[in-house]
Chain A
Amino acid sequence: EPEVTQTPSHQVTQMGQEVILRCVPISNHLYFYWYRQILGQKVEFLVSFYNNEISEKSEIFDDQFSVERPDGSNFTLKIRSTKLEDSAMYFCASKSLMDSPLHFGNGTRLTVT
């Protein structure tokens, strides 16, 4: 069964550094998402992306965050200057149609020290 793949699985970075989290959504999917989960808390929506542009973003997704689909397969989340509170599991997700299930990758655990 096709999967959403995310790399790396773990990333440790120092405060103030830029990080790029990478995702390869399922190949025929059209809608792409980033979510985050702070340890022990619920999964929170960050941003959705469709037709090569951001469709929706939450209040968490401030100017420090950006997303890009640089080619036909990759979908990236960049955090420009990481803060301690950015430490979380970041999930990429995709779906094929408007009314279809969302499929999640295995996540990237980001630790900011």
Chain B
Amino acid sequence: GIQVEQSPPDLILQEGANSTLRCNFSDSVNNLQWFHQNPWGQLINLFYIPSGTKQNGRLSATTVATERYSLLYISSSQTTDSGVYFCAAPRSLTGGGADGLTFGKGTHLIIQP
């Protein structure tokens, strides 16, 4: 199946800083999602981004499927950005439409005031 690796595993920043989180995957995929898990454990959808670039406020994401990576950018970080950021890709290339996602281990982001 597809392997998903995220870096860095941990990141501590001061409020106002910018950050880039990386997601590498082992094969070209047609589906890539970024999630934010907040301190209460909720998984919040950030981006569905099989390719290209999307922006949503202070967050943006870019996926280059042919080069097997995706980047999540967070600008002007706030303490509420703290949590774990996961990327997820299809479990396999040969799976059908119902195939689930495989998650990376996440980047644990702490934004200090």
For B83, the chain A residues whose CB sits under 8 A away are none
User: Do A102 and B33 touch (CB < 8 A)?
Assistant: yes
| Range class of the A interface residue count | 20 to 34
A-B pairs with beta carbons under 8 Å apart, 16 shown: A43-B43, A43-B88, A48-B100, A55-B96, A56-B91, A56-B96, A56-B99, A56-B100, A97-B97, A99-B31, A99-B50, A100-B48, A101-B45, A104-B45, A107-B42, A107-B43
> In the complex, how many angstroms separate the beta carbon of A13 from the nearest chain B beta carbon?
19
Binary contact track B17-37/A, C-beta < 8 Å → 1, others 0: 000000000000011010100
Beta-carbon contacts of B84-113 to A below 8 Å, as 1s and 0s?
Answer: 001010010001111111111110000000
Q: Which residue of A lies closest to B84 (CB)?
A: A42
Residue A31 at the chain B interface, CB threshold 8 Å:
yes
Cβ-defined contact, A43 with B48, below 8 A = no
Chain B residues with Cβ below 8 Å from A47 are: 100
Q: Does B52 contact A (CB under 8 A)?
A: no
Q: Which residues of A contact B102 (CB under 8 A)?
A: 45
Contact A45 B48 (CB under 8 A): no
- Docked-complex contact A56 and B86, CB < 8 angstroms: no
A residues touching B (Cβ–Cβ < 8 Å)? 31, 33, 35, 37, 41-45, 47-50, 55-56, 58, 89, 91, 97-104, 106-107, 109
Cβ contact of A42, chosen from B33, B41, B97, B103, cutoff 8 A? B103
Whether the pair A89, B41 counts as a contact (CB closer than 8 A) is yes
Q: Which residues of A contact B30 (CB under 8 A)?
A: 99
Mostly, the B contact residues are loop
The answer to whether B98 and A31 have CB atoms under 8 Å apart is yes
Neighbouring A residues of B99 by C-beta, 8 Å = 48, 55-56
- Asked whether, in the complex, the Cβ of A55 is within 8 Å of the Cβ of B98, the reply is yes
Q: What A residues does B105 contact at CB under 8 A?
A: 41-42
Q: Are B48 and A35 in contact (CB under 8 A)?
A: no
Q: Which residue of chain A has the shortest Cβ distance to B4 in the bound complex?
A: A42
CA–CA, A107 to B42, complex, Å? 7
Question: Which B residues are CB-close (under 8 A) to A89?
Answer: 41
**Which residues does chain B contribute within 8 Å of A97, judged by CB atoms?**
97
